[in-house]
């Protein structure tokens, strides 16, 4: 690993050796010491020593045990200090009480990283929290990276390293696996190792982060992004300790071209903080994770099965290079099912042209010829003709994926290998296609398929869903360019009045109306004449959020007299219904015709983990009843803004549904991006911001913010 | 089977024997003849003879083969006529050319049912279609029931009957399986048999319907509804030949208390018939299947995996008796994942009370105690304490389901059986709970769990999803009572004008405005005075659907003069913009305030398979952009109408979202039910019907149809 550790700069730790950072020591140590090593099989201190032997770890191994001479064929040492060579990685498998002292010794001897199996820290309550804080301090102080405590450990199968007491590394995983795993749960990490054993799959590397005193899930992702054996990163996540570090790790994986497939729990958790504004209540933290993962190119799986299938597919097969899919089936109905899945997943079952269809009919007169191609039961008896049909399909379009349902054909090794040979030929001529077969396949035949990079699925629909997920995955697409940062403005503190909020947004580049603050009814009338009729008059007070509810709004005023009367009325209503509110006068603004456009809502919520997040939704029932919103971490550019707009279910309303003119989506995207720049520039000052409604007019006519509530917090300075 | 065949009455076939209907002969024949029987292993005519022997079929078996003496230990006969006993079931395994003659012979000898393996019929094109029509005629004429042609056959494992050449009946399935399968695809049926073999599951009965010349998927479901061994009916379906027969079969299964789990392909097919009205374009036939399956208590699975998991769960386990779920986990995060799935699936992870939580903490101080109960790694080493915690959970609520994630614990037979013993005790004390474990389980331990009716899943989320699907399944709930039929009315033919449409709907009991037809402007003014101002005037013509587009609507008219002028204007506009339209004058109706209520759309579409279907949705973007509609087969009562209203995503809008008053849902439900009665009474005359908008006012204030387009077809008489 030539690049510095993702945290090195942030933490001011001692400079690592010229070619060897502390995090490198976690996955590719040159030497390993096991403190608490044991020769008694099954003991927590015995398993890693035995594993290092079984996996043929090529570096030096030092079991530390004052009573033993030798463990698993390695010469034991009585104590750490007795080791006469540098130790890159220490495994700590002793009771909690002795851990801190041991780690101090490790650090003083120059150990780069430590894996602490020991439990009895933050997970047991207050005493443990204190001990763990001391461990965190030790890591910061010494620069030694610590995995755990309370971790099942780490493994790098390709490097022969198993620094874990998880029982599922037996039987031995083969070298050459391409799946890297980071799990925030040891139990789940072990379970996944068991799943992999059952499927005959191997890992490149496997990391369980335990209590995350130092190395966290983001570090794990960053490690795997640079692990040469890892082609796909599977992440099991409960939450991130630092949003920016998670994002940096996701970017690193994306830059390395490695897909990240995330299983994050807590989907239905209602956001912890109750907040007054819509934005906050909608941008509950799981929704923010969802948006961030999408924004930074990770794929969030909806089930354990999907998550693991995707890991399998990326590790063994090739991602589709385009959305076109060729479907081949022995059952017409299952072909329809595959087409259903393809279309719902965004794949394109592009039909064969007439000549190709004619050719298929020549081979099997009653075959389905369009796509899916239903080869009928003929293929079982006549693989020559089957192969011909497959060739016709492949020659027709540059299909990014080819998926076949064999049903029961190929259920014996003999018949299975005959069909597999057909696909082997296909693979030779189409080395970069996603190829998958589904149906009955025996384990030896499955292995033969997989050796060629052809995927095998039990269910035909799962094969198509996986191809679709891979085709959708934005791994390679670093979306658009970042906008320039916005200069910081002077923000007052607290809940700002509408006039101030709109003025600030206007300075930030958002389209706002000519809204003026009038201290009294006469001034209001004067301003209305300058603005031009009709106008709207509203009470101006930072303390009154729901102005209409107290009679604080007068619409469609067409003369100076009407304005003056309305201002009197509105001010009186405020004095009556909100006697304690600070009244700053009236706001006078042009009366805009909201029928000529689409009402939307723009908002900003500051997520405790990730920082400022921009929310977009359509007005009315879309946000409030359907919770149809899109979220993005600020700041972002126009491309991301357009992606965001396209994400909501009601997006069709902006492109001219129901006979409306198409809306000015360009102006909306510009406003979203500008809002995101404003949010990013003032992240430390923003509490929440709602622009509701934000009216998007027909194309070419722009957009405008009609109301805004901006709440700021005290500046740090 | 004591009830008559589902088709017997419809088809006027000869009366079956007193205790033995022709369809009974399909699953439980007393004797079987195999025409085209062969002694050459692997031949299509050899497999069923060998299978009958291997499965120990207890009845008589007659291989028909003029050249053989004996096949698979059965004495062969040279021809059908040489059989000296009644034949209940004939298996026909000869080339297509001889099939019809053979079937004639079978029928003349009193054979009750025939399974025709032979291909070369409708699936090969025109010639085959003709031959198959002759076969259909034969079935009708003789009353002999025919499965196929081009079928993989039928099996009743519990009766030792395998009348199939599917290779996946080896190794032999155990008797006692509870899964009944009906598949419209032979290839898929074979594939499912292979899945079952892999999972160590057995079938009760297994039917592939082939070309469905006679016995179709509905007959298959009806057979399984009465098959004593079948506890769950898995259906793979491409489409139904007759809606009413499918419905009758689903009702029969429901009455027998047997869940029906359907995998229907063609989800994304755009409805075949293009139609002018909204209703038709929304009620594409797959959406109708979806609604019908829900309405008649079948569960439509969204994936092959879900379909099969549900079959497994119903066959092996117990459905949850309530929605409360107790979740037990060794990983806190996975507990959250399980709770996510529970909540999204409609289960209730009801928390433990304070005393129970305290008790859990006493057993394991750092356990998660609320629900999910996180027993922590402790359980691996100390099953006594694990069992105690499980007992605490079970004692707390009457949980309908208990689901546990063991992760890797129990990955050996030894540790696995120890955990399984805990659940065996639980099962003894809670014989009717849904109990599932997930994680690493060895095959022998899995079998031990299953023997006790405890389910085993690889993925924890799949276990919860399955429990949720079972808890949602409306198997037992025959919803509400059927409304009385509505007397038929005299309907004019063609596209009716708005006035006529509203009048007819009013006669059907729906709330309609006092809308009157005025031949000229003076009459319009007079009528407006009678109705009371304000009124609306619209052009009255069966040929003008989009009245506003041509200036054919005038709103909010407040005096006789305004009405007269508007009528002149509207009539002139129609003459200008629709010179060929039949103009019947103007419609005068009260001007209703649509702001005081929720605009909805009610419609009727006549599905070619199922007949009249009622559609309900919210107005505007809900139907047109979000396609958020609910469908029901007509007729239905109030209970079903309420279920329908609750089904749409925007339902919250009717119950008082966004500060509105709750809408008069009672009036809406009554209108939907009345509309369904109207649709059912005039099914043969209706082309389509749209009521748009149908305004639902605040609770207690009723509802009203504001516009209607009714298109009828010529009557049959």
Sign of CA dihedral A555, A560, A562, A568: positive
DSSP state string for A453-498: T-EEESSHHHHHHHHHHHHH--TT---S-PPPPPPP----SEEPPH
Note whether B196 contacts A: Cβ–Cβ < 8 A.
no
Q: Which residue of A has its CA nearest to B150?
A: A377
Cross-chain residue pair A185–B332, CB shorter than 8 Å: yes
B198 interaction partners in chain A (CB closer than 8 Å): 458
Note whether B344 contacts A: Cβ–Cβ < 8 A.
yes
Cross-chain residue pair A408–B621, CB shorter than 8 Å: no
Note whether A361 contacts B: Cβ–Cβ < 8 A.
no
A439 interaction partners in chain B (CB closer than 8 Å): 191, 194
- Mutant choice from A118, A119, A187 vs B, greatest count of B C-beta within 10 A: A187
The low-confidence residues of chain A, meaning pLDDT below 50, are: 1-18, 270-284, 475-476, 717
- Average pLDDT of the residues in B602-606: 93
Note whether A656 contacts B: Cβ–Cβ < 8 A.
no
Q: Are B149 and B134 in contact (CB under 8 A)?
A: no
Q: Residue B18: which pLDDT band, with cuts at 50, 70 and 90?
A: very low
Determine if residue A547 is left, alpha or beta; phi over 0 gives left, psi from -120 to 50 gives alpha, anything else beta. alpha
d(CA A233, CA A220): 10
CA angle A343, A349, A354 (to 5 degrees): 145
Q: What is the predicted pLDDT for the residue at B271?
A: 28
Q: Which residue of A has its CA nearest to B377?
A: A187
Note whether B305 contacts A: Cβ–Cβ < 8 A.
yes
Q: By 3-state DSSP, what share of chain B in percent is helix, strand and coil, each rounded to 5?
A: 40, 20, 40
Nearest to A195 by CA among B563, B235, B460, B186: B460
How far does B77 lie from chain A, in Å, by closest CA? 30
Q: Are A209 and A217 in contact (CB under 8 A)?
A: yes
What does the pLDDT look like over A67-114, one tens digit per residue? 999 999 999 999 999 999 999 999 999 999 999 999 999 999 999 999
B377 interaction partners in chain A (CB closer than 8 Å): 119, 187
How far does B167 lie from chain A, in Å, by closest CA? 8
Q: What is the predicted pLDDT for the residue at A511?
A: 97
Strands B703-705 and A232-237: unpaired
A185 vs B187, B331, B621: nearest CB: B331
- Average pLDDT of the residues in B48-53: 97
A461 vs B303, B440, B622: nearest CB: B303
How far does A539 lie from chain B, in Å, by closest CA? 22
Note whether B303 contacts A: Cβ–Cβ < 8 A.
yes
Among B residues 59-78, those touching chain A with beta carbons less than 8 Å apart: none
- Mutant choice from A185, A328, A374, A408 vs B, greatest count of B C-beta within 10 A: A408
Q: What is the predicted pLDDT for the residue at B658?
A: 64
Q: What is the predicted pLDDT for the residue at B48?
A: 97
Note whether A304 contacts B: Cβ–Cβ < 8 A.
yes
Cross-chain residue pair A621–B650, CB shorter than 8 Å: yes
> Chains A, B: CB contacts under 8 A, how many?
179
Structure tokens at B437: 């474990």
Note whether A366 contacts B: Cβ–Cβ < 8 A.
yes
How far does A259 lie from chain B, in Å, by closest CA? 23
Q: Residue B123: which pLDDT band, with cuts at 50, 70 and 90?
A: confident
Nearest to B408 by CA among B367, B450, B379: B379
Q: What is the predicted pLDDT for the residue at A491?
A: 92
- Mutant choice from A190, A191, A193, A548 vs B, greatest count of B C-beta within 10 A: A191
Q: CB neighbours of B69 closer than 8 A, spacing ≥ 6? A: B75, B76
A625 interaction partners in chain B (CB closer than 8 Å): 650, 652-653, 657-658
Q: What is the predicted pLDDT for the residue at B478?
A: 52
Least confident of A350-354, A434-438, B190-194, B332-336: B332-336
Cross-chain residue pair B125–A344, CB shorter than 8 Å: no
Note whether A120 contacts B: Cβ–Cβ < 8 A.
no
pTM here is 0.89
d(CA B11, CA A4): 81
Note whether B411 contacts A: Cβ–Cβ < 8 A.
yes
A124 vs B263, B366, B408: nearest CB: B366
A620 interaction partners in chain B (CB closer than 8 Å): 658
- Average pLDDT of the residues in B46-63: 97
ipTM of the modeled complex: 0.88
Write down the mean pLDDT value for chain B.
Answer: 89
Nearest to B335 by CA among B353, B349, B354: B349
Cross-chain residue pair A343–B268, CB shorter than 8 Å: yes
Note whether B269 contacts A: Cβ–Cβ < 8 A.
yes
Note whether B650 contacts A: Cβ–Cβ < 8 A.
yes
What does the pLDDT look like over B260-282, one tens digit per residue? 999 998 877 532 332 223 333 33
Q: What is the predicted pLDDT for the residue at B269?
A: 53
Q: Is the pLDDT of residue B627 over 50?
A: yes
- Mutant choice from B126, B191, B465 vs A, greatest count of A C-beta within 10 A: B191
CA angle A349, A354, A358 (to 5 degrees): 110
DSSP tag of B651: G
Q: What is the predicted pLDDT for the residue at B612?
A: 94
- Average pLDDT of the residues in B331-345: 90
User: Which domains does chain B carry?
Assistant: 8-314 (3.40.50.261), 320-472 (3.40.50.261), 514-590 (3.30.1490.20), 598-712 (3.30.470.20)
Q: CB neighbours of A39 closer than 8 A, spacing ≥ 6? A: A46, A49, A65, A68, A70, A71, A72
d(CA B499, CA B497): 6
Q: What is the predicted pLDDT for the residue at A12?
A: 33
Q: Is the pLDDT of residue B112 over 70?
A: yes
Q: Residue B12: which pLDDT band, with cuts at 50, 70 and 90?
A: very low
Note whether B331 contacts A: Cβ–Cβ < 8 A.
yes
**Percentage, residues of chain A above pLDDT 90:** 74
Q: How far does chain B reach from its first CA to its final CA, in angstroms? A: 38
What does the pLDDT look like over B280-305, one tens digit per residue? 333 347 888 999 998 888 999 999 99
How far does A429 lie from chain B, in Å, by closest CA? 29
Note whether A646 contacts B: Cβ–Cβ < 8 A.
no
Q: What is the predicted pLDDT for the residue at B474?
A: 61
How far does A458 lie from chain B, in Å, by closest CA? 8
Q: What is the predicted pLDDT for the residue at A20?
A: 61
Note whether B185 contacts A: Cβ–Cβ < 8 A.
yes
Q: Which residue of B has its CA nearest to A345?
A: B268
B15-20 long-range contacts (CB < 8 A, ≥24 apart) are B16/B112, B16/B143, B20/B88, B20/B112
What does the pLDDT look like over B565-588, one tens digit per residue? 999 999 999 999 989 999 999 999
Q: What is the predicted pLDDT for the residue at A272?
A: 32
Cross-chain residue pair A626–B621, CB shorter than 8 Å: no
A336 vs B186, B265, B337: nearest CB: B265
- Average pLDDT of the residues in B196-211: 94
What does the pLDDT look like over B234-263, one tens digit per residue? 999 988 888 999 999 999 999 999 999 999
Q: Which residue of B has its CA nearest to A186?
A: B331
Cross-chain residue pair A625–B459, CB shorter than 8 Å: no
A304 vs B188, B459, B621: nearest CB: B459
Residue B649, classed as helix, strand or coil, is: helix
């Amino acid at each position: 690993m030539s690049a510095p550790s993702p945290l090195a700069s942030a933490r001011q730790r001692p400079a690592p050796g010229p070619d060897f950072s502390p995090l490198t020591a976690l996955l590719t140590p040159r030497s390993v010491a096991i403190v608490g090593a044991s020769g008694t099989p099954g003991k927590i201190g015995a398993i890693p020593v035995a594993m290092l032997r079984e996996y043929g770890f090529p570096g030096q191994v030092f079991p530390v045990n004052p009573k033993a001479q030798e463990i698993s064929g390695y010469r034991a040492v009585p104590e750490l200090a007795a080791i006469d060579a540098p130790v890159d990685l220490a495994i700590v498998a002793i009771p909690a009480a002795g851990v801190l002292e041991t780690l101090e010794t490790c650090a003083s001897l120059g150990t780069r990283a430590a894996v602490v199996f020991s439990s009895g820290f933050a997970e047991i309550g207050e005493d443990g929290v204190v001990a763990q804080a001391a461990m965190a301090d030790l890591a910061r102080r010494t620069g030694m990276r610590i995995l755990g405590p309370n971790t099942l450990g780490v493994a790098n199968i390709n490097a022969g390293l198993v620094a874990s007491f998880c029982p599922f590394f037996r039987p031995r995983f083969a070298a050459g696996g391409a799946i890297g795993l980071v799990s925030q749960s040891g139990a789940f990490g072990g379970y996944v190792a068991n799943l992999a054993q059952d499927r005959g799959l191997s890992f490149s590397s496997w990391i369980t982060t335990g209590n995350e005193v130092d190395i966290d899930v983001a570090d794990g992702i960053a490690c795997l992004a640079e692990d040469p054996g890892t082609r796909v990163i599977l992440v099991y996540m409960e939450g991130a300790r630092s949003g920016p570090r998670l994002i940096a790790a996701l970017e690193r994986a994306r830059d390395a071209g490695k897909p990240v497939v995330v299983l994050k729990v807590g989907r239905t958790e209602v956001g912890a903080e109750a907040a007054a504004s819509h934005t906050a209540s909608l941008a509950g933290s799981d929704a923010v994770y969802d948006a961030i993962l999408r924004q930074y190119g990770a794929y969030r799986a909806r089930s354990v099965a999907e998550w693991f299938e995707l890991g399998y597919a990326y590790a063994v097969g090739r991602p589709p290079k385009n959305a076109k899919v060729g479907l081949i089936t022995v059952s017409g109905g299952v072909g329809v099912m595959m087409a259903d899945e393809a279309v719902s997943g965004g794949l394109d079952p592009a039909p064969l042209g007439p000549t190709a269809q004619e050719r298929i009919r020549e081979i099997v007169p009653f075959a389905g010829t369009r796509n899916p191609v239903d080869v009928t039961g003929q293929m079982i008896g006549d693989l020559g003709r089957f192969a011909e049909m497959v060739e016709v399909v492949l020659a027709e379009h540059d299909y990014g994926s080819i998926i076949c349902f064999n049903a029961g054909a190929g259920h014996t090794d003999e018949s299975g290998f005959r069909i597999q040979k057909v696909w082997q030929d296909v693979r030779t001529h189409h080395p970069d296609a996603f190829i998958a077969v589904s149906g009955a396949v025996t384990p030896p035949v499955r292995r033969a398929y997989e050796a060629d990079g052809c995927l095998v699925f039990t269910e035909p629909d799962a094969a198509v869903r996986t191809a679709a997920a891979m085709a959708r995955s934005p791994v390679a697409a670093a979306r658009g360019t970042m906008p320039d940062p916005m200069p910081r403005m002077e923000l007052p503190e607290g809940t700002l009045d509408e006039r101030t909020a709109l003025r600030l947004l206007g300075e930030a580049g958002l389209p706002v109306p000519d809204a003026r603050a009038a201290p009294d009814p006469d001034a209001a009338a004067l301003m209305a004449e300058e603005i031009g009729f009709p106008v709207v008059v509203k009470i101006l007070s930072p303390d009154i959020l729901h102005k209409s509810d107290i009679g604080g709004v007068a619409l469609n005023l067409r003369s100076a007299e009407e304005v003056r009367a309305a201002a009197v009325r509105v001010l009186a209503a405020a004095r009556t219904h909100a006697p304690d509110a600070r009244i700053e006068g009236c706001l006078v603004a042009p009366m805009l015709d909201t029928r000529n456009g689409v009402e939307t809502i723009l908002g900003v919520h500051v997520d405790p983990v990730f920082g400022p997040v921009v929310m977009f939704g359509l007005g009315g029932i879309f946000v409030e009843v359907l919770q149809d919103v899109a979220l993005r971490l600020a700041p972002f550019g126009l491309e991301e803004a357009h992606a965001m707009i396209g994400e909501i279910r009601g997006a069709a309303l902006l492109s001219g549904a129901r006979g409306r003119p198409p809306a000015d989506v360009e102006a909306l995207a510009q406003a979203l991006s500008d809002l995101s720049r404003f949010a990013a520039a003032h992240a430390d000052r923003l509490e929440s911001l709602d622009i509701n409604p934000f009216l998007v007019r027909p194309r070419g006519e722009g957009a405008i913010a009609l109301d805004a509530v901006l709440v700021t917090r005290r500046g740090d300075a």
